[in-house]
Chains A and B, each alone.
Chain A
Amino acid sequence: MSSETKQILTTDGIPLEVSLKKAERKNKIKAFLLVAPLLLFLIITYVFPIGDMLFRSVDDKMVTQMLPKTFKAMETWDGQELPDEEVFAAFHEDFIKLVEDKREGKLSTQLNYTKNGFKSIIKKLRRKSKSFEEGNYKEQIMSVHKRWANVEYWRAIKRRAPEFTSQKYLKGMDMYVNEEGKIVSVEEDRRIHRVLWLRTLEIAFFVTVFCFLMAYPIAHLLATLPMKYSNLLMICVLLPFWTSLLVRTASWMILLQQQGIVNDFFVGIGLVADDNRPEMMYNKTGSYVAMTQILLPFMVLPLYSVMKTISPSLMRAGKSLGGTPFVAFWKVYFPLTIPGIGAGCLLVFILAIGYYITPALVGGASGTLISNQIAFHMKSTLDWSFASAMGLMLLSGVLVIYWLYNKLVGIDNIKLG
């Protein structure tokens, strides 16, 4: 029997398999076309700009473009001893051009990032370079300041030759490339970023733990109470969830201030003396308390939706088989709620790690997180490439958790309200 007789044909004489595939492909294209507008919109306005951040964070073309001839001349320089006349002449040529464009200030700022001490010697060079004679630039530049005769400063310039740099990422971890080209940490008392990263992790971790400890009992209560009571109590969870973040932060500012209600209460029950009211705001305590309350609904809702599906007869069965209520809970109920715990904890942790508004308002100096540092560099120092680098470091952490979440819970299983 030939294979042709086996094939099933449609009425048009086309093999059924081919016809089905065609229809299938049509459906695929149709489905994809529906998603396409949003996907395209997000790719253009969101995904690409995040890629742009990546580019900005490693982009170091500025110095490369300011000193093109110098870097060309430096290619053959081994960096052991002072470069020869050719490099000095090229540097002089580039420098004169920068002075004409009034950009030598930018150069000094940039070079100063690599090595301290460039600012003053570039200023000096600008003044003196006006009276330079042609030829023998090495002598003339070296006579401007003794640092120009120091090979380390020339090495520092050479380090800025590549168009791309990992410097901003190193800075985000309080590290830098030293004179020998090795990656080293900055002095202990200047490691501000490591402190911030650790604090961000610490606060996110403990906020997650607090949320879990508080959410578990109330989610259980909501899931086991009869509908008419649980609906009423659910409002206590949902109302804060729907209320503006700023409103909730404002209420904590009122509660936690020194003359605030919480302090009044502590004084009233004699816990603290009236003239010795503790600072509960503008420090870590403020961040902890406010963030826990604000993120609590995000823990309660996933826990609740999992607990709702657990049949109460399971606990009864556990007890009837001889377990005490505690054993029944620990061996039967608790393991069944683990998916909800995973979902809630990951969600709260992801949200907490990127928190900005609440720590900025109630956190003070000791309660701010990495997000606040990113905003500070975006707005105040205008070091956008550093802000981008820190943002992407934070993002990579979040994406790992997001991936984990997807593996454990599934993105399609995110439930709202």
Chain B
Amino acid sequence: MALPKYTEPHYRIWHYIYLTICGAVFFFLIAPLFVIFPLSFNAEEFLSFSDGMKRLDPDAFSLRWYKDMIYGTKNPWGLAAKNSFIIAIFATIGSVILGTVAALGLSSRHMPYKGLIMAVLISPMIVPLIISGVAIFFFMAKAGLAATHTGIVLAHIILGTPFVVITVTATLSGFDHSVTRAAASLGSDPVNTFMKITLPLILPGVISGGLFAFVTSFDEVVVVLFLAGLENTTIPIQMWTGLREQLSPTILAVATCLIILSTLILVTAELLRRRSERLRGINR
């Protein structure tokens, strides 16, 4: 952002102060993530940079904690990762189906009590997680679903649907309904129209909502802490226990893997958002 030549000196100074502040805030946002990365390769059992690491001595770095994460005998990460992925995948499928269908109804201009219903559908996102956790725990305990995968998947569907509803209604707001009418006038039934016309057009929104639902489930710890038994342990639960008891470098290895995963998701989400904006004809 170059300043025009005629800018007066004291505004120039202000401008640089402003840029410095912005730089500091960006640093504050992003730097903590990059601390984890080098420390996870620490050859020693400390959570700070050893002298060897500061000298960039190759011996000070090792894959020890990654090996421990994968092959460690007492380490529950394998089971936790398996559970996390299974739960997140099913929760995503459930959230996407329920959320997309509901968003279709909500975007119809005939929908009665739109505001009220929207408020109910979004509420799991707004209500503090601890309260959702207590309420869902009471329900699952009564339904006999506490400490089961099914119970956790259902809980994560509850927490994930608001994101799908929001992203899909946002996509549908720019949707040209004359194309579905055109399909209907050409003899297509509603289901066929949805599959062939509507879905491909709103797909970016659906997928990005699905990504939100996936991340929500994959990262969710408060509700799971109430619901999970030993068998249903997930990565967040293991991290939570690890962070509470003893911060070990193995956790940093896991955290590094999670950061890589979130980077992949971020890139996918960004690409989808841009594609969706292109499809909806929003030029920027």
Q: Check B118 for interface membership: any CB of A closer than 8 A.
A: yes
A254/B47 in contact, CB under 8 A:
yes
- B148 CB to closest chain A CB (Å) equals 14
Q: In the complex the two chains form, is B166's CB within 8 Å of A246's CB?
A: no
Q: How far is the CA of A52 from the CA of B133 in the complex (A)?
A: 13
Q: Which residues of B contact A398 (CB under 8 A)?
A: 126-128
Measured between C-beta atoms, what is the minimum distance from A229 to chain B in Å?
A: 8
Q: Which residues of A contact B133 (CB under 8 A)?
A: 378
- 18 example contacts (A-B, Cβ-Cβ < 8 A) are as follows A32-B112, A39-B102, A39-B117, A39-B120, A45-B139, A46-B124, A48-B139, A218-B22, A239-B263, A242-B266, A245-B219, A246-B236, A254-B48, A354-B127, A357-B222, A374-B130, A391-B131, A395-B131
Determine the chain B residues whose CB is within 8 A of the CB of A387 once the complex forms: 134
Q: B208's contact among A32, A255, A417, by CB below 8 Å, is which?
A: A417
- Interface mask (A345-377 → B, CB under 8 Å = 1, otherwise 0): 000001001111100110000000001001100
Counting from the closest, the 3 A-B pairs by CB-CB distance are A354-B128, A34-B105, A35-B105
Whether the Cβ atoms of A38 and B128 lie closer than 8 Å is no
Interface check B75, CB cutoff 8 A: no
Which residues on the A side are within 8 Å of B99 (C-beta)? 38
Q: Does B124 lie within 8 Å of A361, measured CB to CB?
A: no
Chain B 92-125 per-residue mask, 1 if CB under 8 angstroms from chain A, else 0: 0000001101101110101110010111111110
Q: Is the CB of B48 within 8 A of A264?
A: yes
Interface residues of A (CB under 8 A from B): 24, 27-28, 30-39, 41-50, 52-53, 56, 214-215, 217-218, 221, 224-225, 227, 233, 235-240, 242-255, 257, 259-261, 264, 293, 296-297, 325, 350, 353-357, 360-361, 371, 374-375, 378, 384, 387-388, 391-392, 394-395, 398, 402, 406, 411-412, 414-417
Tell me, in angstroms, the Cα distance from A195 to B2 when the chains sit together: 50
Majority DSSP secondary structure for residues of B touching A: helix
Given A38-B101, A225-B1, A416-B163, A248 contacting B32 (CB threshold 8 A): yes
- Is B262 part of the binding interface, using a Cβ–Cβ cutoff of 8 Å? yes
Whole-angstrom CA separation of A214 from B120 in the bound complex: 32
Residue of A nearest to B128 (CB): A354
A225 to B22: give the CA distance in the assembly, Å: 12
Expressed in whole angstroms, the minimum distance between the Cβ of A356 and any Cβ of chain B is 5
Contacts A217-B22, A251-B35, A354-B130: A34 and B102 contacting too (C-beta < 8 A)? yes
B36, A247: Cβ atoms closer than 8 Å: yes
User: In the assembly, what is the distance between CA of A112 and CA of B135, in Å?
Assistant: 28
Q: B279 within 8 Å of A by Cβ?
A: no
Inter-chain contacts of A252 with B (CB < 8 A): 32
By a CB distance below 8 angstroms, the chain B residues around A378 are 133-134, 137, 226
Most central of B29, B123, B169 by chain A CB within 10 Å: B29
If the complex has contacts A38-B161, A415-B170, are A254 and B35 also in contact, measured as CB distance less than 8 A?
yes
Measured as residues with beta carbon below 8 angstroms from the partner, the interface class of chain B is 35 or more
The interface residues of chain A lying within 8 Å CB-to-CB of B136 are 45-46, 49
Residues on A with C-beta less than 8 A from B138 are 49, 52-53, 56, 384
Per the bound structure, the CA–CA distance linking A259 and B21 in Å amounts to: 27
Which of B104, B139, B266 is close to A239, meaning CB atoms less than 8 Å apart? B266
Q: How far is the CA of A35 from the CA of B138 in the complex (A)?
A: 25
User: Could you say which residues of chain B place their CB within 8 Å of the CB of A245?
Assistant: 219, 221
Residues A254 and B129 in contact in the complex (CB < 8 Å), given A238-B266, A388-B134, A417-B269? no
Q: Are B36 and A251 in contact (CB under 8 A)?
A: yes
Contact pattern, B 8-21, Cβ under 8 Å of A = 1, otherwise 0: 00010000001101
Residues on A with beta carbons closer than 8 Å to the beta carbon of B19:
221
Tell me whether B71 is interfacial, beta carbon within 8 Å.
Answer: no
Instruction: With both chains docked as a complex, state the minimum distance between the C-beta of A345 and any C-beta of chain B, in angstroms.
Output: 15
Q: How far is the CA of A340 from the CA of B170 in the complex (A)?
A: 18
B212 interface residue (CB < 8 Å to A): yes
